């Protein structure tokens, strides 16, 4: 099974994605509020994942209430994240670099940029990129267009809540304003659509991203997020 040829399904209140070759890894995302998830059904899903060979199961980035549900099932902390929000109460920047719409022919280039920009655990494969794009009813994908694809941003909207799903900049093009311009585009697009709050998360050790977001008006939300892990040996 190649990393881009994987099992995906939704059941028992979870969206499940399995990737890998010899060491299968599963990623689960709750599609129901924590209070509507059932321990017995999630445990059944974990049992099914172990049967198909998944050795480790990671959650998506969870809020504290969701974290407690999975912790009660034996999940342990993998990594904490900052959750930041922009409420549009302060002036927002305009993009300083040209960008363009996503084309299907860009798919491979976006994955290349993403894999160069993030540590291995956080890198997107094809299905993960597709999942980020389809996670919300409305999505905007912009690609920096000044010197070829140097970075991209995926912004989603559900009602009046926005999500900056991904910002990735090629390491060879960092510190020249690519990320700032892409985030500014996401903010302007969200504001035009009357989004009341735009959310983004970042690793706690990613000081460069944190500094960028805070300089553009994002503030940390209480509680943050965390990715949890479960293994068949737990």
* pLDDT at residue 84 is higher than 70: yes
Asked if residue 28 is part of any domain, the answer here is: yes
Asked if residue 25 is part of any domain, the answer here is: yes
The residue-averaged pLDDT of 173-185 equals 97
Containing 142, the helix (H) or strand (E) segment is strand 138-144
6: closest CA among 70, 53, 58? 53
Give yes or no: residues 68 and 101 share one domain.
no
Give yes or no: residues 24 and 68 share one domain.
yes
Asked if residue 14 is part of any domain, the answer here is: yes
Q: Find tokens 């000044």 and name the residue.
A: 146
Whole-angstrom Cα distance, residue 69 to residue 233?
Answer: 19
* Amino acid 3: pLDDT: 39
Asked if residue 213 is part of any domain, the answer here is: no
Give yes or no: residues 11 and 95 share one domain.
no
Give yes or no: residues 180 and 115 share one domain.
yes
Give yes or no: residues 94 and 71 share one domain.
no
Identify the band that residue 2 occupies on the pLDDT scale cut at 50, 70 and 90.
Answer: very low
Please say whether the beta carbons of 82 and 210 come within 8 A: yes
Report the 10 Å Cβ neighbour count for 81: 16
Give yes or no: residues 155 and 73 share one domain.
no
* Amino acid 72: pLDDT: 97
Contact partners, residue 179, CB within 8 Å, separation at least 6: 151, 167, 169, 209, 212
Who wins on pLDDT, 148 or 133?
Answer: 133
Segment 198-232, tens digit of pLDDT: 999 999 999 999 999 999 999 999 999 999 999 98
* Amino acid 21: pLDDT: 61
Give yes or no: residues 150 and 120 share one domain.
yes
Backbone angles phi, psi at 196, to 5 degrees: -90, -20
Whole-angstrom Cα distance, residue 167 to residue 143?
Answer: 10
Give yes or no: residues 98 and 175 share one domain.
yes
Asked if residue 132 is part of any domain, the answer here is: yes
Give yes or no: residues 126 and 58 share one domain.
no
The domain of 59 spans 7-80+225-231
**How many distinct structural domains can be found in the chain?**
2
Give yes or no: residues 61 and 105 share one domain.
no
* Amino acid 5: pLDDT: 41
Who wins on pLDDT, 22 or 84?
Answer: 84
Give yes or no: residues 58 and 110 share one domain.
no
User: What is the pLDDT of the chain when averaged over all its residues?
Assistant: 93
Model pTM?
0.91
Give me the percent of the chain exceeding a pLDDT of 70.
Answer: 94
Whole-angstrom Cα distance, residue 8 to residue 175?
Answer: 37
Asked if residue 173 is part of any domain, the answer here is: yes
Give yes or no: residues 67 and 127 share one domain.
no
Asked if residue 53 is part of any domain, the answer here is: yes
Asked if residue 140 is part of any domain, the answer here is: yes
* pLDDT at residue 4 is higher than 50: no
Containing 114, the helix (H) or strand (E) segment is helix 107-117
**What CATH number should be reported for the domain holding residue 145?**
3.40.630.30
């Amino acid at each position: 099974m190649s990393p881009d040829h994987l099992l995906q399904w939704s059941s028992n209140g979870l969206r499940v994605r399995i990737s890998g070759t010899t060491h299968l890894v599963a990623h689960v995302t709750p599609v129901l509020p924590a209070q509507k998830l059932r321990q017995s059904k999630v445990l059944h899903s974990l049992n099914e994942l172990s049967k198909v060979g998944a050795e480790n199961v990671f959650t998506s980035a969870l809020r504290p209430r969701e974290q407690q549900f999975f912790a009660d099932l034996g999940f342990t902390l993998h990594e904490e994240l900052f959750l930041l929000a922009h409420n549009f109460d302060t002036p927002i920047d305009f993009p300083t670099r040209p960008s363009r719409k996503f084309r299907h022919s860009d798919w491979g280039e976006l994955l290349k940029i993403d894999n160069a920009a993030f540590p291995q655990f956080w890198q997107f494969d094809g299905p993960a990129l597709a999942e980020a794009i389809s996670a919300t009813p409305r999505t905007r994908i912009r690609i920096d267009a000044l010197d070829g694809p140097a970075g991209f941003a995926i912004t989603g909207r559900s009602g009046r809540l926005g999500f900056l799903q991904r910002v990735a900049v090629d390491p060879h093009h960092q510190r020249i304003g690519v990320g700032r311009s892409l985030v500014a585009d996401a903010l302007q697009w969200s504001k035009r659509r009357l989004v009341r709050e735009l959310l983004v998360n970042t690793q706690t050790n990613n000081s460069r991203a944190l500094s960028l977001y805070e300089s553009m008006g994002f503030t940390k939300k209480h509680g943050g997020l965390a990715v949890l892990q479960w293994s068949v040996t737990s």
